[in-house]
Amino acid sequence: MTTMNWRTINIDLLDPESPANFSTATLSPAVSSVSTAEVQNLSSQIKQLLRGGDGEGALRGALENPPYGGDAAAKEIHLATVVEILQSIKQSEMSPILNRIYNSDGGIEALDVLMKYLCEL
């Protein structure tokens, strides 16, 4: 009689609900591609808001439209836009702006995007 080393059996393969039995590629959302020209257009619109004195609107616009499907140049342009917005907002105005964004529809997702940009710096 042959003995089997039971410690080498991968029991996850026997479980039908195990992540080893389905593709994890289905867990990530589909992302549409974004061109650099579209990001530059969005950046100019956001900077127009910023020049008009609407820092909150500019920040909200930048955070609600991240270029997930863009190339490296598009992402770099958008990062520079977000940094410019953050630098233009006064420190005393930042907390109230972030609270208003947080309490709005989609605010939590927008602040998650902001944290991704802050970690990028």
Q: Greater confidence, 12 or 104?
A: 104
Angle at 104 between CA 110 and CA 112, to 5 degrees: 20
**pLDDT surpasses 60 at 116:** yes
With a CB cutoff of 8 Å and minimum separation 6, the contacts of 79 are 117, 120
The pLDDT mean for the chain works out to 87
Compute how many other C-beta atoms are within 10 angstroms of the C-beta atom of residue 83.
Answer: 15
Burial class (CB in 10 A: 0-12, 13-18, 19+), 47: middle
Q: pLDDT tens for residues 25-66?
A: 777 777 788 889 999 999 999 999 999 999 999 999 999 989
Q: Is the pTM above the cut of 0.85?
A: no
- Stretch 64-81: mean pLDDT: 91
